[in-house]
A and B are shown apart, each in its own frame.
Chain A
Amino acid sequence: MIVAERKPMEEILAMTADFQRILVLGCGGCTTVCFSGGAREVETLSTLIRMDRKQRGKPVGTVEALTELQCEPHSVTPVLEKLKGQYDVVLSMACGAGVQTVAKLFPDQRVFPALNTNFTGMAEEHGVWKELCLACGDCILDRTGGICPVTRCAKGLLNGACGGASEGKCEVSKDLPCAWQEIYHALKRLNLLSYLKERPKVKAWPIHPSRVVREDLRQVAATEVD
């Protein structure tokens, strides 16, 4: 999942200071799961904005809504169309992809991000998230025992440990395990240590912004069929 955190209130309040009607738009996907942009967080942020503006003597109206997935045009358009005319600005509580989807679909509408998108990762425990994937576009997890050195090695090395680790911890931080030591133990456990003797493949780093096309899924105009 994509993990994001709410921006400091000061920043959000400054962004929205000139608007009288704010649509706080949550996302039912990743940011709901990581407790940064779901229905509950939308309510919290709306209340905080109203409370702040009330204190300043500049009351504001808020509209609260949730899209199923804000990075998916089909789930954004109906929600925003339905609320048309009820807001001056959209304050999105989705990841950067969600904010840009709204901006692309409604080019004349001001859209602001309420969150900082941090990384793709997993919940280590309730309330703790860890970065696991850099979306590099050329996955090598099959050769590394399911541990990604691109993301979890501070140097992103592909050909083994750098030698800087001490007692299993990275030289960058004592709290950070050495990814290559973990890979070694994983491969040993799986009886696949021979993988480490192979020369790593040259990695096909993508050119950004990247794009994925599935011709079989694309909408084809009726006239183009046969």
Chain B
Amino acid sequence: MNNFEPLIAVFSCHYCSYAAADLAGTSRIQYPPNIRVIKVPCTGRVSVNHILRALECGADGVYVAGCLEGTCHFMSGNYKAKHRVQYVKDLLSEINVEPERVQVYFMSAAEGSKFANIAREMTETIKELGPSPLKQTQSE
């Protein structure tokens, strides 16, 4: 699996991590091309079903990138996302999918380098885990 290039969906908040991704771009900070950013108005908009569907449709990993704790534009969206991600992790454990494939991160709009570091970190994590078990279908 040395050539494995994971596909990672990122639910990115309009007010912070999406701006951080922009900053990473304008600052010419390099990060792996494995991530696909999906802009959301707030990470509180990301439901359990959004994350599950991303995994079902072929993502090897998913992470939700929201505002720093205490700084959500809508007061509590990032806390809701944090709890939902934990709930999804528990659901995934129940069907024998590694819960580490789903993560939540917090950052501010000024942290372009953090956005890049997290993209690198998540890509490494998923590379270590290997392709999604949904892709390695084994017939019994």
Contacts and interface: CB of A to CB of B under 8 A. Distances in A.
A40 B47 contact: yes
A55 B49 contact: no
B119 to A, nearest CB: 25
B133 A50 contact: no
B22 to A, nearest CB: 32
Given A56-B138, A57-B138, A57-B139, A47 B49 contact: yes
Interface in B107-140: 133-134, 136-140
A7 B8 CA distance: 30
Contacts of B137: 54-57
B29 interface: no
Interface of A: 8-10, 13, 40, 43-44, 47-48, 50-52, 54-58
A51 B95 contact: yes
A186 B66 CA distance: 46
Q: Kindly name the residue among A13, A40, A50, A56 whose own CB sees the greatest number of chain B CB atoms within 10 A.
A: A56
A51 B52 contact: yes
Main secondary structure of the interface of B (DSSP, over half): loop
Contact of B53 (A8, A47, A57, A58): A47
B96 interface: yes
A54 B94 contact: no
A50 B140 contact: no
Contacts of A48: 52, 91, 94-95
Interface residues of B, number: 19
A8 B94 CA distance: 8
A9 B94 contact: yes
Given A40-B47, A40-B49, A47-B56, A52 B95 contact: yes
Given A56-B140, A58-B140, A9 B49 contact: no
Contacts of A52: 95-96
B55 A51 contact: yes
A194 to B, nearest CB: 48
B134 A55 contact: yes
Given A51-B55, A54-B134, A55-B133, A44 B95 contact: no
A41 to B, nearest CB: 9
Contacts of A13: 95
Contacts of A56: 137-138, 140
A47 B140 contact: no
